[in-house]
Structure 1
Protein backbone atom coordinates (compact mmCIF):
# COMPACT_ATOMS: atom_id res chain seq x y z
CA UNK A 1 0.00 0.00 0.00
CA UNK A 2 3.01 2.27 0.39
CA UNK A 3 3.32 2.62 -3.40
CA UNK A 4 -0.29 3.76 -3.65
CA UNK A 5 0.15 6.31 -0.85
CA UNK A 6 3.36 7.55 -2.46
CA UNK A 7 1.55 8.02 -5.79
CA UNK A 8 -1.20 9.99 -4.07
CA UNK A 9 1.26 12.13 -2.10
CA UNK A 10 3.38 12.95 -5.16
CA UNK A 11 0.24 13.84 -7.11
CA UNK A 12 -0.92 16.21 -4.38
CA UNK A 13 2.49 17.89 -4.37
CA UNK A 14 2.13 18.58 -8.10
CA UNK A 15 -0.95 20.74 -7.49
CA UNK A 16 0.19 23.39 -9.97
CA UNK A 17 0.10 20.82 -12.77
CA UNK A 18 -3.34 19.30 -12.21
CA UNK A 19 -4.99 22.62 -11.39
CA UNK A 20 -3.57 24.14 -14.58
CA UNK A 21 -4.59 21.15 -16.71
CA UNK A 22 -8.10 21.17 -15.25
CA UNK A 23 -8.54 24.91 -15.83
CA UNK A 24 -7.16 24.77 -19.39
CA UNK A 25 -9.48 21.90 -20.26
CA UNK A 26 -12.45 23.88 -18.97
CA UNK A 27 -11.41 26.94 -20.97
CA UNK A 28 -10.95 24.81 -24.08
CA UNK A 29 -14.61 23.78 -23.94
CA UNK A 30 -15.67 27.42 -24.26
CA UNK A 31 -12.96 28.61 -26.62
CA UNK A 32 -13.97 31.68 -28.70
CA UNK A 33 -17.14 32.06 -26.62
CA UNK A 34 -18.04 35.58 -25.52
CA UNK A 35 -19.40 34.53 -22.12
CA UNK A 36 -16.90 31.68 -21.74
CA UNK A 37 -17.26 29.32 -18.76
CA UNK A 38 -20.04 31.50 -17.38
CA UNK A 39 -22.33 29.69 -19.83
CA UNK A 40 -22.31 27.04 -17.10
CA UNK A 41 -23.82 29.53 -14.65
CA UNK A 42 -26.29 30.92 -17.16
CA UNK A 43 -27.65 27.55 -18.25
CA UNK A 44 -27.87 26.30 -14.67
CA UNK A 45 -29.65 29.47 -13.56
CA UNK A 46 -32.27 29.14 -16.32
CA UNK A 47 -32.81 25.47 -15.45
CA UNK A 48 -33.25 26.18 -11.74
CA UNK A 49 -35.68 29.02 -12.39
CA UNK A 50 -37.78 26.94 -14.81
CA UNK A 51 -37.89 23.89 -12.57
CA UNK A 52 -38.49 26.05 -9.50
CA UNK A 53 -41.61 27.62 -10.97
CA UNK A 54 -43.02 24.40 -12.45
CA UNK A 55 -42.27 21.93 -9.65
CA UNK A 56 -43.05 24.50 -6.98
CA UNK A 57 -46.55 24.70 -8.41
CA UNK A 58 -46.82 20.91 -8.75
CA UNK A 59 -45.75 20.36 -5.14
CA UNK A 60 -47.85 23.31 -3.92
CA UNK A 61 -44.83 24.94 -2.28
CA UNK A 62 -44.05 28.63 -2.04
CA UNK A 63 -41.24 29.81 -4.29
CA UNK A 64 -39.25 31.25 -1.36
CA UNK A 65 -39.24 27.77 0.20
CA UNK A 66 -38.84 25.59 -2.86
CA UNK A 67 -36.37 27.58 -4.97
CA UNK A 68 -33.50 27.66 -2.38
CA UNK A 69 -33.98 23.93 -1.74
CA UNK A 70 -33.92 23.17 -5.46
CA UNK A 71 -30.97 25.44 -6.24
CA UNK A 72 -28.72 23.89 -3.58
CA UNK A 73 -29.76 20.34 -4.42
CA UNK A 74 -29.37 20.67 -8.20
CA UNK A 75 -26.05 22.56 -8.10
CA UNK A 76 -24.38 20.10 -5.76
CA UNK A 77 -25.91 17.06 -7.45
CA UNK A 78 -24.48 18.27 -10.77
CA UNK A 79 -21.08 18.60 -9.11
CA UNK A 80 -21.20 15.16 -7.49
CA UNK A 81 -22.52 13.32 -10.54
CA UNK A 82 -19.96 14.96 -12.84
CA UNK A 83 -17.11 14.06 -10.49
CA UNK A 84 -18.27 10.43 -10.39
CA UNK A 85 -18.95 10.10 -14.13
CA UNK A 86 -15.81 11.90 -15.29
CA UNK A 87 -13.72 10.28 -12.58
CA UNK A 88 -14.73 6.87 -13.90
CA UNK A 89 -13.23 7.74 -17.29
CA UNK A 90 -10.22 9.70 -15.97
CA UNK A 91 -7.63 7.08 -16.90
CA UNK A 92 -9.29 6.25 -20.21
CA UNK A 93 -9.48 9.92 -21.23
CA UNK A 94 -5.81 10.40 -20.31
CA UNK A 95 -4.60 7.17 -21.92
CA UNK A 96 -2.19 9.05 -24.22
CA UNK A 97 -0.33 10.60 -21.30
CA UNK A 98 -0.41 7.46 -19.16
CA UNK A 99 1.01 5.23 -21.90
CA UNK A 100 3.78 7.65 -22.90
CA UNK A 101 4.77 9.62 -19.78
CA UNK A 102 5.96 8.31 -16.39
CA UNK A 103 3.48 10.41 -14.42
CA UNK A 104 1.69 9.51 -11.22
CA UNK A 105 -1.77 8.05 -11.78
CA UNK A 106 -3.73 9.85 -9.07
CA UNK A 107 -3.00 13.17 -10.77
CA UNK A 108 -5.65 12.43 -13.40
CA UNK A 109 -8.29 11.92 -10.70
CA UNK A 110 -7.34 15.27 -9.19
CA UNK A 111 -7.48 16.91 -12.62
CA UNK A 112 -11.04 15.68 -13.21
CA UNK A 113 -12.05 16.73 -9.70
CA UNK A 114 -10.53 20.20 -10.03
CA UNK A 115 -12.25 20.81 -13.37
CA UNK A 116 -15.63 20.05 -11.84
CA UNK A 117 -14.79 22.04 -8.72
CA UNK A 118 -14.24 25.08 -10.98
CA UNK A 119 -17.66 24.45 -12.51
CA UNK A 120 -19.12 24.30 -9.01
CA UNK A 121 -17.52 27.66 -8.20
CA UNK A 122 -19.34 29.14 -11.19
CA UNK A 123 -22.67 27.61 -10.18
CA UNK A 124 -22.38 28.44 -6.48
CA UNK A 125 -23.05 32.05 -7.46
CA UNK A 126 -26.64 31.01 -8.21
CA UNK A 127 -27.03 29.39 -4.80
CA UNK A 128 -25.69 32.45 -2.98
CA UNK A 129 -27.92 34.77 -5.03
CA UNK A 130 -31.04 32.73 -4.22
CA UNK A 131 -30.17 32.43 -0.52
CA UNK A 132 -29.47 36.13 -0.15
CA UNK A 133 -32.60 37.08 -2.09
CA UNK A 134 -34.88 34.99 0.11
CA UNK A 135 -32.78 35.72 3.24
CA UNK A 136 -32.46 32.07 4.24
CA UNK A 137 -28.68 31.93 4.77
CA UNK A 138 -27.41 31.80 8.35
CA UNK A 139 -23.75 32.71 8.88
CA UNK A 140 -23.51 30.51 11.97
CA UNK A 141 -24.28 27.38 9.95
CA UNK A 142 -21.55 27.92 7.33
CA UNK A 143 -18.88 25.95 9.32
CA UNK A 144 -21.21 22.95 9.33
CA UNK A 145 -21.55 23.26 5.56
CA UNK A 146 -17.76 23.18 5.07
CA UNK A 147 -17.44 20.15 7.35
CA UNK A 148 -20.06 18.35 5.29
CA UNK A 149 -18.41 19.44 2.05
CA UNK A 150 -15.05 18.01 3.12
CA UNK A 151 -16.67 14.68 3.98
CA UNK A 152 -18.43 14.64 0.62
CA UNK A 153 -15.20 15.44 -1.25
CA UNK A 154 -13.35 12.56 0.46
CA UNK A 155 -16.10 10.16 -0.61
CA UNK A 156 -16.12 11.49 -4.17
CA UNK A 157 -12.34 11.17 -4.47
CA UNK A 158 -12.11 7.54 -3.38
CA UNK A 159 -15.15 6.61 -5.47
CA UNK A 160 -13.63 8.29 -8.54
CA UNK A 161 -10.32 6.49 -8.08
CA UNK A 162 -11.98 3.12 -7.55
CA UNK A 163 -14.24 3.53 -10.59
CA UNK A 164 -11.33 4.79 -12.71
CA UNK A 165 -9.34 1.63 -11.95
CA UNK A 166 -12.31 -0.65 -12.61
CA UNK A 167 -13.28 1.22 -15.77
CA UNK A 168 -9.85 1.02 -17.35
CA UNK A 169 -9.94 -2.76 -16.82
CA UNK A 170 -13.62 -3.33 -17.62
CA UNK A 171 -14.77 -0.83 -20.25
CA UNK A 172 -18.48 -1.39 -19.57
CA UNK A 173 -18.21 0.23 -16.14
CA UNK A 174 -18.56 3.89 -17.32
CA UNK A 175 -21.86 3.12 -19.06
CA UNK A 176 -23.10 1.26 -16.00
CA UNK A 177 -22.11 4.15 -13.72
CA UNK A 178 -23.90 6.68 -15.96
CA UNK A 179 -27.09 4.60 -15.94
CA UNK A 180 -26.99 4.13 -12.17
CA UNK A 181 -26.45 7.85 -11.56
CA UNK A 182 -29.49 8.66 -13.68
CA UNK A 183 -31.63 6.37 -11.53
CA UNK A 184 -30.13 7.66 -8.27
CA UNK A 185 -31.04 11.22 -9.29
CA UNK A 186 -34.75 10.41 -9.07
CA UNK A 187 -34.54 8.71 -5.66
CA UNK A 188 -32.38 11.43 -4.10
CA UNK A 189 -34.13 14.46 -2.51
CA UNK A 190 -33.06 17.04 -5.09
CA UNK A 191 -36.30 18.06 -6.79
CA UNK A 192 -38.20 17.27 -3.59
CA UNK A 193 -37.61 17.27 0.15
CA UNK A 194 -36.91 14.16 2.17
CA UNK A 195 -40.14 14.58 4.14
CA UNK A 196 -42.13 13.87 0.96
CA UNK A 197 -40.83 10.28 0.96
CA UNK A 198 -42.14 9.31 4.37
CA UNK A 199 -43.62 6.09 2.96
CA UNK A 200 -40.35 5.16 1.25
CA UNK A 201 -37.90 6.60 3.77
CA UNK A 202 -35.65 3.55 3.38
CA UNK A 203 -34.62 4.98 -0.01
CA UNK A 204 -32.96 7.84 1.89
CA UNK A 205 -31.49 5.73 4.70
CA UNK A 206 -29.47 3.60 2.27
CA UNK A 207 -28.73 6.28 -0.33
CA UNK A 208 -25.28 7.88 0.18
CA UNK A 209 -26.19 10.81 -2.05
CA UNK A 210 -29.16 11.56 0.19
CA UNK A 211 -26.70 11.82 3.09
CA UNK A 212 -24.46 14.11 1.07
CA UNK A 213 -27.32 16.40 0.04
CA UNK A 214 -28.51 16.56 3.64
CA UNK A 215 -25.05 17.62 4.90
CA UNK A 216 -24.73 20.29 2.21
CA UNK A 217 -28.26 21.64 1.97
CA UNK A 218 -29.53 21.63 5.54
CA UNK A 219 -26.90 24.03 6.97
CA UNK A 220 -27.47 26.51 4.13
CA UNK A 221 -31.21 26.44 4.82
CA UNK A 222 -30.63 26.78 8.59
CA UNK A 223 -32.02 23.29 9.16
CA UNK A 224 -30.54 20.59 11.38
CA UNK A 225 -28.51 17.85 9.74
CA UNK A 226 -29.39 14.25 10.56
CA UNK A 227 -26.74 12.58 12.70
CA UNK A 228 -27.14 9.50 10.52
CA UNK A 229 -25.91 11.50 7.52
CA UNK A 230 -22.65 12.40 9.30
CA UNK A 231 -22.03 8.99 10.83
CA UNK A 232 -22.87 7.01 7.69
CA UNK A 233 -20.84 9.32 5.43
CA UNK A 234 -17.76 9.19 7.68
CA UNK A 235 -17.92 5.39 7.93
CA UNK A 236 -18.34 5.19 4.15
CA UNK A 237 -15.34 7.49 3.64
CA UNK A 238 -13.09 5.40 5.89
CA UNK A 239 -14.13 1.98 4.57
CA UNK A 240 -14.23 3.13 0.94
CA UNK A 241 -10.82 4.79 1.15
CA UNK A 242 -9.19 1.67 2.64
CA UNK A 243 -10.70 -0.63 0.03
CA UNK A 244 -9.70 1.73 -2.76
CA UNK A 245 -6.12 2.00 -1.47
CA UNK A 246 -5.78 -1.79 -1.44
CA UNK A 247 -7.15 -2.14 -4.99
CA UNK A 248 -5.12 0.82 -6.29
CA UNK A 249 -1.91 -0.56 -4.77
CA UNK A 250 -2.43 -3.89 -6.54
CA UNK A 251 -3.35 -2.40 -9.93
CA UNK A 252 -1.37 0.85 -10.14
CA UNK A 253 1.45 -0.61 -12.23
CA UNK A 254 -0.99 -2.38 -14.57
CA UNK A 255 -2.93 0.73 -15.56
CA UNK A 256 -0.38 1.71 -18.22
CA UNK A 257 -0.95 -1.64 -19.95
CA UNK A 258 -4.73 -1.59 -19.61
CA UNK A 259 -5.23 1.82 -21.22
Structure 2
Protein backbone atom coordinates (compact mmCIF):
# COMPACT_ATOMS: atom_id res chain seq x y z
CA UNK A 1 0.00 0.00 0.00
CA UNK A 2 1.39 3.40 -1.04
CA UNK A 3 2.29 5.82 1.72
CA UNK A 4 -0.29 8.61 1.38
CA UNK A 5 1.72 10.94 3.60
CA UNK A 6 4.47 11.16 0.94
CA UNK A 7 2.73 11.12 -2.41
CA UNK A 8 4.78 10.87 -5.59
CA UNK A 9 4.45 14.35 -7.12
CA UNK A 10 7.33 14.13 -9.61
CA UNK A 11 5.15 13.75 -12.67
CA UNK A 12 2.79 16.46 -11.47
CA UNK A 13 5.39 19.14 -10.79
CA UNK A 14 7.97 18.53 -13.48
CA UNK A 15 7.62 18.41 -17.29
CA UNK A 16 7.61 15.02 -18.91
CA UNK A 17 11.03 15.65 -20.40
CA UNK A 18 12.62 16.25 -17.01
CA UNK A 19 10.75 13.27 -15.53
CA UNK A 20 12.56 11.14 -18.10
CA UNK A 21 15.88 12.69 -17.14
CA UNK A 22 16.16 14.97 -20.21
CA UNK A 23 17.54 18.49 -19.77
CA UNK A 24 15.53 21.19 -21.53
CA UNK A 25 17.08 24.65 -22.07
CA UNK A 26 14.08 26.95 -21.81
CA UNK A 27 16.02 29.88 -23.27
CA UNK A 28 16.31 28.03 -26.60
CA UNK A 29 12.65 27.29 -27.22
CA UNK A 30 10.29 28.63 -29.85
CA UNK A 31 8.07 29.92 -27.05
CA UNK A 32 10.81 32.19 -25.72
CA UNK A 33 11.68 33.41 -29.24
CA UNK A 34 8.07 34.29 -29.97
CA UNK A 35 7.82 35.87 -26.52
CA UNK A 36 10.78 38.13 -27.31
CA UNK A 37 9.13 39.39 -30.51
CA UNK A 38 5.82 39.95 -28.76
CA UNK A 39 7.42 41.68 -25.80
CA UNK A 40 9.22 44.00 -28.19
CA UNK A 41 5.93 44.95 -29.85
CA UNK A 42 4.36 45.62 -26.46
CA UNK A 43 7.24 47.97 -25.67
CA UNK A 44 6.56 50.03 -28.79
CA UNK A 45 6.45 53.30 -26.83
CA UNK A 46 10.07 52.69 -25.92
CA UNK A 47 11.46 52.03 -29.39
CA UNK A 48 9.25 54.64 -31.04
CA UNK A 49 10.64 57.25 -28.66
CA UNK A 50 14.23 56.04 -28.98
CA UNK A 51 14.05 56.00 -32.79
CA UNK A 52 12.80 59.57 -32.89
CA UNK A 53 15.47 60.64 -30.40
CA UNK A 54 18.13 59.12 -32.68
CA UNK A 55 17.16 61.50 -35.45
CA UNK A 56 16.97 64.52 -33.15
CA UNK A 57 20.36 63.64 -31.64
CA UNK A 58 21.99 63.29 -35.05
CA UNK A 59 20.93 66.78 -36.13
CA UNK A 60 21.14 68.55 -32.78
CA UNK A 61 22.16 72.22 -33.08
CA UNK A 62 21.58 72.06 -36.84
CA UNK A 63 19.50 74.82 -38.43
CA UNK A 64 17.79 72.61 -41.00
CA UNK A 65 17.74 69.54 -38.79
CA UNK A 66 16.34 66.39 -40.42
CA UNK A 67 15.84 68.30 -43.68
CA UNK A 68 19.51 67.56 -44.36
CA UNK A 69 18.39 63.98 -45.01
CA UNK A 70 16.13 65.18 -47.82
CA UNK A 71 18.64 67.67 -49.20
CA UNK A 72 21.48 65.12 -49.38
CA UNK A 73 19.32 62.52 -51.14
CA UNK A 74 17.84 65.12 -53.49
CA UNK A 75 21.22 66.49 -54.57
CA UNK A 76 22.55 62.98 -55.23
CA UNK A 77 19.43 62.00 -57.19
CA UNK A 78 19.54 65.11 -59.37
CA UNK A 79 23.27 64.76 -60.05
CA UNK A 80 23.07 61.07 -60.97
CA UNK A 81 19.84 61.59 -62.89
CA UNK A 82 21.29 64.30 -65.11
CA UNK A 83 24.56 62.44 -65.69
CA UNK A 84 23.19 59.02 -66.54
CA UNK A 85 20.25 60.33 -68.55
CA UNK A 86 22.84 61.89 -70.90
CA UNK A 87 25.02 58.78 -70.97
CA UNK A 88 22.09 56.43 -71.65
CA UNK A 89 20.21 58.97 -73.78
CA UNK A 90 17.03 58.59 -71.74
CA UNK A 91 14.60 61.52 -71.33
CA UNK A 92 15.16 63.24 -67.98
CA UNK A 93 11.43 63.18 -67.20
CA UNK A 94 11.54 59.37 -67.26
CA UNK A 95 14.96 58.70 -65.79
CA UNK A 96 15.13 61.19 -62.91
CA UNK A 97 12.08 59.75 -61.06
CA UNK A 98 13.48 56.25 -61.64
CA UNK A 99 16.80 57.16 -60.02
CA UNK A 100 15.22 59.18 -57.22
CA UNK A 101 12.78 56.51 -56.02
CA UNK A 102 15.51 53.90 -56.38
CA UNK A 103 17.87 55.90 -54.14
CA UNK A 104 15.14 56.49 -51.55
CA UNK A 105 14.31 52.80 -51.28
CA UNK A 106 17.96 51.80 -51.45
CA UNK A 107 18.68 54.06 -48.48
CA UNK A 108 16.17 52.09 -46.42
CA UNK A 109 17.43 48.68 -47.59
CA UNK A 110 21.13 49.45 -47.15
CA UNK A 111 20.49 51.09 -43.78
CA UNK A 112 18.75 47.98 -42.46
CA UNK A 113 21.60 45.77 -43.68
CA UNK A 114 24.59 47.84 -42.58
CA UNK A 115 23.22 49.25 -39.33
CA UNK A 116 21.40 45.99 -38.65
CA UNK A 117 24.69 44.12 -38.52
CA UNK A 118 25.74 46.33 -35.60
CA UNK A 119 22.36 46.81 -33.95
CA UNK A 120 23.25 44.85 -30.81
CA UNK A 121 26.87 45.98 -30.65
CA UNK A 122 25.79 49.63 -30.82
CA UNK A 123 23.27 49.08 -28.02
CA UNK A 124 25.64 47.22 -25.68
CA UNK A 125 24.91 49.53 -22.75
CA UNK A 126 21.14 49.20 -23.06
CA UNK A 127 21.29 45.44 -23.49
CA UNK A 128 23.35 45.03 -20.33
CA UNK A 129 21.41 47.52 -18.19
CA UNK A 130 17.85 47.64 -19.54
CA UNK A 131 15.70 44.52 -19.07
CA UNK A 132 13.97 44.52 -22.43
CA UNK A 133 13.53 42.20 -25.38
CA UNK A 134 16.25 42.03 -28.02
CA UNK A 135 13.65 42.80 -30.65
CA UNK A 136 13.23 46.29 -29.16
CA UNK A 137 16.56 47.33 -30.67
CA UNK A 138 15.63 45.84 -34.05
CA UNK A 139 12.25 47.61 -34.10
CA UNK A 140 13.99 50.83 -33.13
CA UNK A 141 16.39 50.56 -36.06
CA UNK A 142 13.67 49.78 -38.63
CA UNK A 143 11.54 52.62 -37.26
CA UNK A 144 14.46 55.04 -37.57
CA UNK A 145 15.12 53.99 -41.16
CA UNK A 146 11.42 54.39 -41.93
CA UNK A 147 11.52 57.97 -40.63
CA UNK A 148 14.48 58.68 -42.92
CA UNK A 149 12.47 57.25 -45.82
CA UNK A 150 9.48 59.47 -45.01
CA UNK A 151 11.72 62.53 -45.10
CA UNK A 152 13.03 61.52 -48.51
CA UNK A 153 9.56 60.90 -49.94
CA UNK A 154 9.18 64.68 -50.09
CA UNK A 155 11.51 64.56 -53.11
CA UNK A 156 9.19 62.10 -54.86
CA UNK A 157 6.22 64.40 -54.27
CA UNK A 158 8.11 67.31 -55.82
CA UNK A 159 9.05 65.20 -58.85
CA UNK A 160 5.45 64.13 -59.38
CA UNK A 161 4.54 67.82 -59.50
CA UNK A 162 7.36 68.72 -61.89
CA UNK A 163 6.97 65.61 -64.06
CA UNK A 164 3.30 64.67 -63.65
CA UNK A 165 2.16 61.17 -64.57
CA UNK A 166 -1.08 59.26 -64.04
CA UNK A 167 -1.16 57.53 -60.66
CA UNK A 168 -4.09 55.20 -60.00
CA UNK A 169 -5.12 52.67 -57.41
CA UNK A 170 -1.89 50.80 -58.19
CA UNK A 171 -0.22 53.31 -55.87
CA UNK A 172 -1.66 51.27 -53.01
CA UNK A 173 0.66 48.45 -54.07
CA UNK A 174 3.63 50.64 -53.21
CA UNK A 175 2.29 51.02 -49.66
CA UNK A 176 1.94 47.24 -49.43
CA UNK A 177 5.43 46.83 -50.88
CA UNK A 178 6.80 49.26 -48.31
CA UNK A 179 5.19 47.22 -45.51
CA UNK A 180 6.90 44.13 -46.91
CA UNK A 181 10.21 46.01 -46.95
CA UNK A 182 9.80 46.88 -43.27
CA UNK A 183 9.10 43.23 -42.40
CA UNK A 184 12.25 42.29 -44.28
CA UNK A 185 14.13 45.00 -42.43
CA UNK A 186 13.21 43.29 -39.16
CA UNK A 187 14.49 39.84 -40.13
CA UNK A 188 17.59 41.24 -41.85
CA UNK A 189 18.55 43.27 -38.78
CA UNK A 190 17.77 40.41 -36.43
CA UNK A 191 19.66 37.75 -38.39
CA UNK A 192 22.73 39.77 -39.34
CA UNK A 193 22.74 41.49 -35.94
CA UNK A 194 23.01 38.17 -34.11
CA UNK A 195 25.61 36.75 -36.50
CA UNK A 196 27.73 39.90 -36.57
CA UNK A 197 27.68 40.11 -32.77
CA UNK A 198 29.26 36.67 -32.61
CA UNK A 199 31.53 37.05 -35.65
CA UNK A 200 32.75 40.66 -35.88
CA UNK A 201 34.09 40.26 -39.42
CA UNK A 202 30.57 40.02 -40.82
CA UNK A 203 29.79 43.74 -40.40
CA UNK A 204 32.61 45.09 -42.63
CA UNK A 205 31.95 42.27 -45.09
CA UNK A 206 28.31 43.28 -45.39
CA UNK A 207 29.33 46.92 -45.82
CA UNK A 208 31.48 45.99 -48.83
CA UNK A 209 28.77 43.76 -50.26
CA UNK A 210 26.18 46.54 -50.04
CA UNK A 211 28.45 48.87 -52.01
CA UNK A 212 28.87 46.20 -54.67
CA UNK A 213 25.15 45.44 -54.82
CA UNK A 214 24.40 49.12 -55.41
CA UNK A 215 26.03 48.92 -58.84
CA UNK A 216 24.50 45.51 -59.57
CA UNK A 217 20.97 46.74 -58.82
CA UNK A 218 19.11 48.83 -61.46
CA UNK A 219 19.11 52.14 -59.61
CA UNK A 220 21.23 54.40 -61.83
CA UNK A 221 20.52 52.19 -64.86
CA UNK A 222 17.47 50.37 -66.16
CA UNK A 223 16.94 46.83 -67.36
CA UNK A 224 14.69 48.16 -70.12
CA UNK A 225 17.63 49.99 -71.69
CA UNK A 226 19.65 46.78 -71.80
CA UNK A 227 16.79 44.76 -73.23
CA UNK A 228 16.29 47.28 -76.04
CA UNK A 229 19.88 46.80 -77.18
CA UNK A 230 19.27 43.10 -77.80
CA UNK A 231 21.88 40.41 -78.36
CA UNK A 232 24.30 39.50 -75.61
CA UNK A 233 23.53 42.70 -73.72
CA UNK A 234 19.89 41.64 -73.39
CA UNK A 235 21.04 38.25 -72.11
CA UNK A 236 23.17 39.95 -69.48
CA UNK A 237 20.18 42.02 -68.45
CA UNK A 238 18.41 38.82 -67.46
CA UNK A 239 21.27 38.09 -65.08
CA UNK A 240 20.32 41.26 -63.20
CA UNK A 241 17.03 39.61 -62.29
CA UNK A 242 18.95 37.07 -60.23
CA UNK A 243 19.58 39.90 -57.79
CA UNK A 244 16.69 39.73 -55.26
CA UNK A 245 17.12 43.40 -54.33
CA UNK A 246 15.97 44.31 -57.83
CA UNK A 247 12.60 42.71 -57.14
CA UNK A 248 12.31 44.41 -53.74
CA UNK A 249 12.84 47.77 -55.43
CA UNK A 250 10.44 47.02 -58.25
CA UNK A 251 7.38 46.22 -56.10
CA UNK A 252 7.63 49.70 -54.57
CA UNK A 253 9.15 51.82 -57.32
CA UNK A 254 6.99 50.78 -60.27
CA UNK A 255 3.62 51.76 -58.68
CA UNK A 256 5.10 55.05 -57.47
CA UNK A 257 6.03 55.84 -61.09
CA UNK A 258 2.67 54.78 -62.50
CA UNK A 259 4.04 51.58 -64.02
CA UNK A 260 2.63 48.04 -63.79
CA UNK A 261 4.35 45.42 -61.64
CA UNK A 262 4.82 41.92 -63.00
CA UNK A 263 3.47 39.24 -60.67
CA UNK A 264 6.75 37.33 -60.58
CA UNK A 265 8.40 40.22 -58.69
CA UNK A 266 5.95 39.68 -55.84
CA UNK A 267 6.41 35.92 -55.81
CA UNK A 268 10.18 36.26 -55.57
CA UNK A 269 9.93 38.85 -52.80
CA UNK A 270 7.44 36.80 -50.79
CA UNK A 271 9.60 33.70 -51.16
CA UNK A 272 12.73 35.51 -49.98
CA UNK A 273 10.76 37.03 -47.11
CA UNK A 274 9.51 33.63 -45.93
CA UNK A 275 13.02 32.12 -46.03
CA UNK A 276 14.54 35.13 -44.29
CA UNK A 277 11.95 35.12 -41.52
CA UNK A 278 12.56 31.43 -40.90
CA UNK A 279 16.34 31.90 -40.66
CA UNK A 280 16.01 34.91 -38.37
CA UNK A 281 13.55 33.08 -36.15
CA UNK A 282 15.86 30.09 -35.84
CA UNK A 283 18.79 32.37 -34.99
CA UNK A 284 16.71 34.17 -32.37
CA UNK A 285 15.60 30.88 -30.86
CA UNK A 286 19.13 29.47 -30.72
CA UNK A 287 21.25 32.46 -29.74
CA UNK A 288 18.90 34.98 -28.10
CA UNK A 289 20.23 34.24 -24.61
CA UNK A 290 23.88 34.50 -25.72
CA UNK A 291 23.79 37.97 -27.29
CA UNK A 292 24.21 39.83 -23.95
CA UNK A 293 27.45 37.85 -23.39
CA UNK A 294 28.74 38.52 -26.91
CA UNK A 295 28.34 42.31 -26.99
Question: Scaled by the length of structure 1, what TM-score is found?
Answer: 0.96
Deviations 1:158-209 (A, max 9, x none): 1111000001000011101100111100010100112234231343322111
Deviations 1:3-38 (A, max 9, x none): 111111110111111011011111111110110011
Report if the CA contact (8 A) 1:152-1:233 is conserved. Answer: no
Instruction: Give distance in 2, aligned partners of 1:137 and 1:253.
Output: 51
Instruction: Give distance in 2, aligned partners of 1:150 and 1:200.
Output: 31
1:113 lines up with 2:142 in the alignment: yes
Residue 70 of structure 1, CA deviation? 0.8
In structure 2, the gaps of 5 or more residues are 1-29, 227-233
Residue 136 of structure 1, CA deviation? 2.0
1:251 lines up with 2:251 in the alignment: no
Larger radius of gyration: 2
1:205 lines up with 2:241 in the alignment: yes
Report if the CA contact (8 A) 2:167-2:258 is conserved. Answer: yes
Report if the CA contact (8 A) 1:109-1:157 is conserved. Answer: yes
Q: Which has the higher helix share?
A: 1
Cα distance, 1:111–1:235 mapped onto 2, change above 3 Å? same
Report if the CA contact (8 A) 2:171-2:258 is conserved. Answer: no
Question: Which residue is equivalent to 2:155?
Answer: 126
Residue 222 of structure 1, CA deviation? 1.7
Residue 79 of structure 1, CA deviation? 1.3
Question: Which residue is equivalent to 2:273?
Answer: 237
Task: Tell me which stretches of 4 or more aligned residues in structure 1 moved more than 4 Å.
Answer: none
Instruction: Give distance in 2, aligned partners of 1:26 and 1:132.
Output: 28
In structure 1, the gaps of 5 or more residues are none
Moved more, 195-204 or 116-125: 195-204
Number of residues of Structure 1 aligned to a counterpart in Structure 2: 259
Instruction: Give distance in 2, aligned partners of 1:4 and 1:63.
Output: 49
Match of 1:36 among 46, 50, 65: 65
Question: Which residue is equivalent to 1:151?
Answer: 180
Instruction: Give distance in 1, aligned partners of 2:119 and 2:107.
Output: 17
Match of 1:63 among 92, 101, 118: 92
Structure 1 segment 1-259 matched on structure 2, within 5 A: 1-197=30-226, 198-259=234-295
Residue 137 of structure 1, CA deviation? 4.8
- Match of 2:169, SS state, is helix
